[in-house]
Chains A and B, each alone.
Chain A
Amino acid sequence: MPAIPSHVPEPSRTDPALIRNFCIIAHIDHGKSTLADRMLQLTGVVEQRQMRAQYLDRMDIERERGITIKSQAVRLPWAPTHDKGTAHILNMIDTPGHVDFTYEVSRSLAACEGTILLVDAAQGIEAQTLANLYLAMENDLTIIPVLNKIDLPAAQPEKFAEELANLVGCDPDDVLKVSAKTGLGVDALLDKVVAEVPAPVGVKDAPARAMIFDSVYDSYRGVVTYVRVVDGQLNKRERIRMMSTGATHELLEIGTNSPEMLAADGLGVGEVGYLITGVKDVRQSKVGDTVTSQHKGAEDPLGGYKDPRPMVFSGLYPLDGSDYPLLREALDKLQLNDAALVYEPETSAALGFGFRVGFLGLLHLDVIRERLEREFGLDLIATAPNVVYRVIMEDGTEVDVTNPSEFPEGKIDEVYEPVVRATLLAPTEFIGAIMELCQTRRGTLLGMDYLSEDRVEIRYTLPLAEIVFDFFDQLKSKTRGYASLDYEPTGEQTSSLVKVDILLHGDKVDAFSAITHKDQAYAYGVRLVAKLKELIPRQAFEVPVQAAIGSRVIARETIRAIRKDVLAKCYGGDISRKRKLLEKQKEGKKRMKMVGSVEVPQEAFIAVLSSDDSAGSGKGKK
């Protein structure tokens, strides 16, 4: 039976000394959501019969893929086993688990004093977890290392406890061993959170300052903003001010989650909860921003706020051109809940009307595309993902290129591309394969460390463009799925980059233009031209397929003209059948896109552009 403490302090009247704010850092599939579920049960905030798997993950896609995209915060009362009389308040802040959302993760971490480092006892730590762990260490959080799934036959608790101890700098015996599935050891873990995570410290009588660590659009209530109060107090019905924009709103409701929303009188120092102001768009309530009172508010915001910056762009086009307004509407709706999603209309000669959409990363792209297709019933063509290039012309003008087909033709002085610092974790036997891959992707080795005898951490600087293109798949296949990858943007570098155009029957196909390093342009051209030759059916005339840099052709194939397209026989009994076949062929023709005079099946666009086999870092469960 859950141990529900008798005297539970109420929001706005909770002594900061009794508060523990913590989060859980874990890799996808290492059991974070299951552990959260167990904590909800043990602390009695969710009764057994209401329990459903992964209670906190709200979106279907999250539940299906077993990943968490949007974070939440839950207020859990817990009286530690050694002191049953003193109810503490544990605020569990659920963090996004993916590299694309590093900024959101960093804000979640900033709302906490401690973190549970949860690692699968059968798999060991993964690169993304490591990256988040380093982030937590930078934020000076107390780390509680925990091995999960110790009930699994394949578990190696000794080995991985050693690994965690090395990373965190503790004794292997201090690593807790739990099974979130069975609940084994979870109460001890809650006790340890109370014992080890420091209580929040803030100035009670100062002007209110609360940091927004999440902002979620709810179709009934508008935007729900999650905050951690640092100083002072926010009270119901007061007017508040967003410090980055100066915008003021009336506080319609303030409260905590247990795990459903529960209104309260206010939130005091160290407390975590939600605000509702009636705004309809998460961009008016930005993650990382500071909330203060309008009347006698704070002068200085809390540090660390950043505007979300899209790193990866892709053109999204409806397969059926008449769906364009639907696509616009769908993007508008998704943007309500996703401040990082940016888009603007774009026209492609080959694909018609669509949008150039900016994403935080590949998973973000995948999730958005999947939601557009699933929730809004759209059939989309997505162009190959690309990064943003900064092009300096010889006359000193500067052009930002988010669409490869807009790469300037004139005299170019320099081209800058974004680079990332990539961290790869893998068994030592794959060091060679990983280094070879990174080398071919224009990587520069930064360093290498052994995590344990047989696991290694390799760090590289890589152009982001090399990662958005099938890097993750290559990595997985070269390491039989054992390697994990994390990366963070670190700036930009100049590179010898060129635009490769694809010409069909002499006409440039904008959707197929790509920016590549000049040493890779030839291989790219040859590959794409060969693929198109295979995918485009023979036409009434010969169709040259060319890849070119400017006016210089670097690869060429020819689709031979079709010579026979006629059924030999035509009897009286064939006529209905022939007419129906013709109708069917006409339907098929409608699904062709005309590129100049060449009919290109949409399947060809999808096959060439599809990021299904080139994106996918962190896609689903690995």
Chain B
Amino acid sequence: MPSALPDGEPVPADGALPASALAGAADRPLGFYLHVPYCATRCGYCDFNTYTATELRGTGGVLASRDNYAETVADEVRLARKVLGDDPREVRTVFVGGGTPTLLDAGDLVRMLGAIRDEFGLAPDAEITTEANPESVDPAYLATLREGGFNRISFGMQSAKQHVLRVLDRTHTPGRPEACVAEARAAGFDHVNLDLIYGTPGESDDDWRASLDAALGAGPDHVSAYALIVEEGTQLARRIRRGEVPMTDDDVHADRYLITEETLSAAGFDWYEVSNWATSDAGRCLHNELYWRGADWWGAGPGAHSHVGGVRWWNVKHPGAYAGALAAGKSPGAGREILDDEDRRVERILLELRLREGVPLSLLREDGLAASRRALSDGLLQQAPYDDGRAVLTLRGRLLADAVVRDLVD
């Protein structure tokens, strides 16, 4: 079962936004997230909105299939154009995620991007990323993407160790993601990311070091390293509950994180978000930074979340229901929330504290400031940026970011 959507108020049938959401929009970057809800198999740890069937029928008999999926998403892009009206912004980032976007033909991904280009226009330096499964791309596929305008690609590597991949239900062969990096470079991709997961049950410190070394050996300019989160409702959570695999201790996660920081920084990577490292500022994922800095993004696809000027909404989850809404000319939005000033302040703190640039102390109230001073003296915040008016986490602070946030929002 994919994770549940939040509760919220209904979205108007035409998807219209309150005027407040569009005020001052010109000053904010705009991005697009395109969700592809298909996977060949479901991985045991995954709680994303994804389906393994190739065809899903929604209410009213509307067919949502992989074959017409690109066109359905293009419909939502056209709806976005209507909702945003005469918003003059060009799109700064596009990120295709999933699911497994590369289960679609490369031409489909290019077609979806084309819809955005047609309706909004792409900024000259726009970052165009897709996630890719190492087993479902080849040089020809990558070449098509590159020619179609994609300039960044993110491979789900997770681990270099077969026994770890097996616990995660990943089907690719060790070594294949590293080969993908070379193929992507050959196809002309400037930016290549490898996604890694640490703390999988059965993984040792040395296994993790081997994964980091293998990833670095392939020469990406970006690495995301996530501690495995055992989400409720996943197969992995059930296996752990039944005692079939052991739960990883938080202290082990902390150790692996320290190994990660040590290994990546020795290889010339800098952290710019708690779980993300890049070789240069240009290597950062600008699209993710839009999320973390409260910019505007439109998420198209079933279950995708959008945020425009303090209004956040999310689409219906089922691909059939999603396609049905669009076929009927309606917004696929399932619910939305309108953030008040305090919500936005809290979100800024909880998101920006995770970033290398940290949170401006001016966002904090009296109690939060007092808490920040304690965090500073406890060695969780860095002194120099603090003196310049910013709360920036130390290495130890990064591991305790949520605890620090709880105090700073007071």
Q: Are B291 and A570 in contact (CB under 8 A)?
A: yes
Task: Confirm or deny: A84 has a beta carbon within 8 angstroms of a beta carbon on chain B.
Answer: no
Q: Are A572 and B291 in contact (CB under 8 A)?
A: yes
Task: Confirm or deny: A580 has a beta carbon within 8 angstroms of a beta carbon on chain B.
Answer: yes
B287 nearest in chain A by CB position = A572
Q: Are B354 and A570 in contact (CB under 8 A)?
A: yes
Provide the bound-state CA to CA distance between A263 and B333, in Å: 75
Task: Confirm or deny: B350 has a beta carbon within 8 angstroms of a beta carbon on chain A.
Answer: yes
Provide the bound-state CA to CA distance between A414 and B253, in Å: 55
A560 nearest in chain B by CB position = B251
Which residues 223-253 of B have a CB within 8 angstroms of A?
A: 226-229, 250-251, 253
- A 577-599 to B, binary, CB cutoff 8 A, 1 in contact else 0: 11110100110010000000000
Q: Are A573 and B257 in contact (CB under 8 A)?
A: no
Q: Taking the nearest CB of chain B, how far is it from the CB of A375, in angstroms?
A: 36
Task: Confirm or deny: A565 has a beta carbon within 8 angstroms of a beta carbon on chain B.
Answer: yes
Q: Are A569 and B250 in contact (CB under 8 A)?
A: no
Task: Confirm or deny: B66 has a beta carbon within 8 angstroms of a beta carbon on chain A.
Answer: no
Task: Confirm or deny: A541 has a beta carbon within 8 angstroms of a beta carbon on chain B.
Answer: yes
Q: Are B297 and A572 in contact (CB under 8 A)?
A: yes
Q: Taking the nearest CB of chain B, how far is it from the CB of A537, in angstroms?
A: 11
Q: Are B402 and A566 in contact (CB under 8 A)?
A: yes
Identify which of B288, B337, B347, B400 contacts A540 (C-beta below 8 A): B400
* B residues in contact with A586, CB < 8 Å: 406, 409
Q: A576-B337, A580-B6, A582-B346 are in contact. Are A570 and B250 (CB under 8 A)?
A: no
Task: Confirm or deny: B358 has a beta carbon within 8 angstroms of a beta carbon on chain A.
Answer: no
Provide the bound-state CA to CA distance between A569 and B195, in Å: 11
Q: Are B402 and A568 in contact (CB under 8 A)?
A: no
A580 nearest in chain B by CB position = B6
Q: Are A579 and B251 in contact (CB under 8 A)?
A: no
Most chain B Cβ neighbours within 10 Å, of A562, A564, A579, A585: A564
Q: Taking the nearest CB of chain A, how far is it from the CB of B220, in angstroms?
A: 18
Q: A578-B350, A582-B406, A586-B406 are in contact. Are A564 and B291 (CB under 8 A)?
A: no
Most chain B Cβ neighbours within 10 Å, of A563, A566, A569, A570: A566
Q: Are A562 and B250 in contact (CB under 8 A)?
A: yes
Q: Taking the nearest CB of chain B, how far is it from the CB of A599, in angstroms?
A: 10
Q: A541-B378, A570-B354 are in contact. Are A565 and B402 (CB under 8 A)?
A: yes
Q: Taking the nearest CB of chain A, how far is it from the CB of B284, in angstroms?
A: 15
Provide the bound-state CA to CA distance between A58 and B218, in Å: 82
Q: A566-B401, A582-B346 are in contact. Are A572 and B305 (CB under 8 A)?
A: yes
Give the interface size bracket for B toward A. Answer: 35 or more
Task: Confirm or deny: B332 has a beta carbon within 8 angstroms of a beta carbon on chain A.
Answer: no
Which residues 243-273 of B have a CB within 8 angstroms of A?
A: 250-251, 253-254, 257, 273
Q: Are B343 and A579 in contact (CB under 8 A)?
A: yes
Task: Confirm or deny: B37 has a beta carbon within 8 angstroms of a beta carbon on chain A.
Answer: no
Q: Taking the nearest CB of chain B, how far is it from the CB of A578, in angstroms?
A: 6
Task: Confirm or deny: A567 has a beta carbon within 8 angstroms of a beta carbon on chain B.
Answer: yes
Which residues 3-27 of B have a CB within 8 angstroms of A?
A: 3, 6
Q: Are A571 and B350 in contact (CB under 8 A)?
A: no
Identify which of B229, B314, B399, B406 contacts A573 (C-beta below 8 A): B314
Q: Are B401 and A579 in contact (CB under 8 A)?
A: no
Provide the bound-state CA to CA distance between A217 and B303, in Å: 64
A565 nearest in chain B by CB position = B403
A576 nearest in chain B by CB position = B6
Identify which of B229, B273, B292 contacts A567 (C-beta below 8 A): B229
- A 3-25 to B, binary, CB cutoff 8 A, 1 in contact else 0: 00000000000000000000000
A575 nearest in chain B by CB position = B347
Q: Are A563 and B399 in contact (CB under 8 A)?
A: yes
Provide the bound-state CA to CA distance between A578 and B273, in Å: 16
Most chain B Cβ neighbours within 10 Å, of A567, A577, A580: A567
Provide the bound-state CA to CA distance between A563 and B378, in Å: 13
Provide the bound-state CA to CA distance between A512 and B229, in Å: 38
Task: Confirm or deny: B170 has a beta carbon within 8 angstroms of a beta carbon on chain A.
Answer: no
* B residues in contact with A565, CB < 8 Å: 250, 399-403
Q: Are B400 and A566 in contact (CB under 8 A)?
A: yes
Q: Are B250 and A568 in contact (CB under 8 A)?
A: no
Q: Are A573 and B403 in contact (CB under 8 A)?
A: no
* A residues in contact with B351, CB < 8 Å: 570, 575
* B residues in contact with A568, CB < 8 Å: 226-229, 274-275
Q: Taking the nearest CB of chain B, how far is it from the CB of A280, in angstroms?
A: 46
Task: Confirm or deny: B307 has a beta carbon within 8 angstroms of a beta carbon on chain A.
Answer: yes
Task: Confirm or deny: B380 has a beta carbon within 8 angstroms of a beta carbon on chain A.
Answer: yes
B335 nearest in chain A by CB position = A576
Most chain B Cβ neighbours within 10 Å, of A569, A572, A576, A579: A572
* B residues in contact with A569, CB < 8 Å: 226, 229, 275
Q: Taking the nearest CB of chain A, how far is it from the CB of B232, in angstroms?
A: 12
* B residues in contact with A576, CB < 8 Å: 6, 305, 312, 314, 337
Provide the bound-state CA to CA distance between A577 and B6, in Å: 7
* B residues in contact with A571, CB < 8 Å: 288, 291
* B residues in contact with A572, CB < 8 Å: 33, 291, 297, 299, 305-307
Task: Confirm or deny: B304 has a beta carbon within 8 angstroms of a beta carbon on chain A.
Answer: yes
17 cross-chain CB contacts under 8 A: A540-B400, A562-B250, A564-B227, A564-B399, A565-B401, A565-B402, A566-B399, A567-B229, A569-B275, A570-B292, A570-B351, A570-B354, A572-B306, A572-B307, A577-B3, A577-B6, A582-B346
Given contacts A564-B227, A579-B347, A586-B409, 19 further A-B contacts (CB under 8 A): A563-B251, A563-B254, A563-B399, A564-B250, A566-B400, A566-B402, A567-B229, A568-B229, A568-B275, A569-B229, A570-B275, A572-B291, A572-B306, A573-B314, A575-B307, A575-B312, A578-B350, A579-B350, A582-B405
Residues of A that sit less than 8 Å from B by CB: 540-541, 562-573, 575-580, 582, 585-586, 589
